[in-house]
């Protein structure tokens, strides 16, 4: 399962960034596929990006809400909200764990050996503030002379945008160097802070700052796919916590907001069969977990290396 998940993450990253003509065209792909949203965070302006980022699309929708309504276009953005709502309703935050390129990057960078630090739980609520402020409130309320807002999160915060679009485009189009100003250096500083933080902590961007993860997380407790915890089998050994890429204490309850349904706790951590999942109310329990005893399982981690 860990190999399968990594494989799916890599395939999703490649498919989300499959436009390899960009060294020749020096620009971004703008074909038909670009009108579709990919499920994970992947910058629209990345030269190789084949689809649109749902977060960027959502901000553009909010920023253009007033002109759209004035023009009588009341269905504006239904596709984006529908895509996010359908994905969240089916699997909750699972795209973060399986198909988000920026999630994969964070997991790989975290493998760099260093002292590791846990993220205080209070910080994980910041992403909801970012969601409200940078995705909805500011794009809707701060408008120009033509009633258009701007994409605040993309413009001022998103480290994925700086990494995938800002930096590559400067190399592809050297004339852009003349336009580099304080905003670019501000974005670069945010990117560097997150990269260092990724080495030290488990998935800091997902847990603290990602508004897309914040949206999906709201569906975790109600989605078709749900995790199950069996308190009768749980010994509170904390192996699930030690191995969880999101630092979740599964024994405190399944389907917590930050659970990305990576299934690492199920397949790699819990040796007591206390973790399973259900699809539309139908439990899926591994055959070796169907008894009540400890299964024959070798624990490979003893201390919390947070890998
Ligand atoms: S690994 Fe299993 S038994 Fe141990 S605390 Fe987590 S759910 Fe409970
Ligand atoms: S609780 Fe389990 S499924 Fe959820 S993120 Fe942690 S390891 Fe993955």
Complete DSSP assignment for the chain? -HHHHHHHHHHHHHHHT--TTHHHH-S---SGGGGSB-SS---TTSTT--SB-HHHHHHHHHHTHHHHHHTT-TTTTHHHHHHHHHHHHHHTTHHHHHT-HHHHHHHHHTTS-S---PPPGGGGGHHHHHIIIIIIIHHHHS--TTS----HHHHHT-HHHIIIIIHHHHHH-GGGGGG--HHHHHHHHHHHHHHHHHHHSSSHIIIII-HHHHHHHTTTTTSSEEEEE-TTT-----HHHHH-TT---GGG-SS-TT-----HIIIII-SSS-EEEEETTEEE--GGGSSSS--S------S----
Strands across the sheet containing 225-229: 225-229, 275-279, 282-284
Q: Is 227 a pocket residue for ligand 1 (Cβ < 6 Å)?
A: no
- Residue of the CA atom closest to atom 5 of ligand 1: 236
| pLDDT at residue 298 in the model | 43
- Cα-Cα-Cα-Cα torsion 92, 94, 97, 101, nearest 10 degrees, comes to -90
Going residue by residue through the chain, which has 307 residues, state the pLDDT in tens, using 9 for 90 and above.
789 999 999 999 999 888 887 777 877 778 888 788 888 888 888 888 888 899 999 999 999 988 888 888 766 678 899 999 999 999 999 999 999 999 999 999 999 999 999 999 999 999 999 999 999 999 999 999 988 999 999 999 999 999 998 898 888 888 888 888 899 999 999 999 999 999 999 999 999 999 999 999 999 999 999 999 999 999 999 999 999 999 999 999 999 999 999 999 999 999 999 999 999 999 887 777 776 555 544 444 444 444 4
Which residue from 5, 203, 255, 263 has its CB within 8 A of the most atoms of ligand 2, so it is best to mutate?
263
| pLDDT at residue 76 in the model | 67
Compute the distance between CA of residue 176 and CA of residue 159 in angstroms, rounded to an integer.
19
Q: Is 17 a pocket residue for ligand 1 (Cβ < 6 Å)?
A: no
- Residue of the CA atom closest to atom 6 of ligand 1: 240
Compute the distance between CA of residue 277 and CA of residue 160 in angstroms, rounded to an integer.
31
Which ligand approaches the C-alpha of residue 240 most closely?
1
| pLDDT at residue 301 in the model | 45
Kindly give the distance from the C-alpha atom of residue 303 to the centroid of ligand 1, in angstroms, as a whole number: 14
Kindly give the distance from the C-alpha atom of residue 234 to the centroid of ligand 2, in angstroms, as a whole number: 15
- Residue of the CA atom closest to atom 4 of ligand 2: 259
Which residue from 249, 255, 272 has its CB within 8 A of the most atoms of ligand 1, so it is best to mutate?
272
| pLDDT at residue 299 in the model | 45
Using an 8 Å Cβ cutoff, are 229 and 275 in contact? yes
| pLDDT at residue 44 in the model | 81
Kindly give the distance from the C-alpha atom of residue 117 to the centroid of ligand 1, in angstroms, as a whole number: 21
| pLDDT at residue 302 in the model | 47
Q: Which of 238, 244, 212, 190 is nearest to 92 (CA)?
A: 212
| pLDDT at residue 288 in the model | 75
Kindly give the distance from the C-alpha atom of residue 248 to the centroid of ligand 2, in angstroms, as a whole number: 7
Ligand 2 pocket residues where CB is under 6 Å: 244-246, 248, 250, 259-265
Which residues have CB under 8 Å from 95's CB, separation 6+? 39, 40, 87, 216
Nearest atom within ligand 2 for CA of residue 250? 1
Kindly give the distance from the C-alpha atom of residue 301 to the centroid of ligand 1, in angstroms, as a whole number: 13
Kindly give the distance from the C-alpha atom of residue 275 to the centroid of ligand 1, in angstroms, as a whole number: 7
Which residue from 91, 223, 248 has its CB within 8 A of the most atoms of ligand 2, so it is best to mutate?
248
**Tokens 């960009």 sit at which residue?**
22
């Amino acid at each position: 399962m860990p190999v399968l998940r990594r494989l799916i993450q890599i395939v999703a990253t490649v498919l989300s960034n499959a436009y390899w003509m960009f060294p020749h065209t020096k620009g971004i792909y703008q074909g038909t596929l670009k009108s579709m949203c990919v499920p994970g965070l992947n910058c629209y302006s990345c030269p190789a990006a084949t689809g649109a980022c749902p977060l960027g699309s959502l901000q553009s929708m909010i920023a253009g809400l007033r002109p759209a309504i004035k023009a009588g276009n009341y269905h504006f953005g239904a596709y984006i909200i529908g895509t996010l709502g359908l994905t969240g309703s089916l699997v909750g935050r699972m795209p973060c764990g399986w198909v988000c390129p920026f999630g994969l990057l964070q997991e790989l960078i975290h493998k760099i050996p260093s002292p590791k630090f846990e993220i205080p739980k209070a910080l994980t609520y910041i992403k909801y503030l970012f969601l409200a402020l940078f995705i909805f409130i500011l794009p809707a309320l701060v408008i120009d002379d033509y009633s258009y807002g701007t994409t605040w999160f993309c413009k001022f915060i998103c480290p994925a945008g700086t990494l995938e679009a800002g930096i590559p485009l400067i190399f592809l189009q050297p004339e852009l160097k003349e336009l580099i100003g304080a905003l670019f250096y501000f974005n670069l500083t945010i990117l560097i802070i997150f990269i260092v933080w990724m080495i030290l902590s488990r998935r800091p961007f997902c847990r603290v700052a990602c508004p897309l993860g914040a949206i999906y997380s709201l569906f975790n407790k109600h989605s078709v796919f749900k995790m199950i915890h069996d308190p009768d089998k749980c010994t509170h050994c904390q192996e699930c916590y030690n191995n969880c890429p999101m630092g979740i204490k599964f024994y405190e309850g399944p389907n917590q907001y930050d659970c990305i349904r990576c299934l690492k706790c199920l397949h790699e951590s819990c040796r007591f069969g206390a973790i399973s999942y259900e699809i539309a109310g139908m439990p899926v329990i591994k055959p070796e977990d169907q008894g009540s005893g400890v299964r024959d399982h070798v624990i490979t981690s003893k201390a919390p290396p947070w890998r």
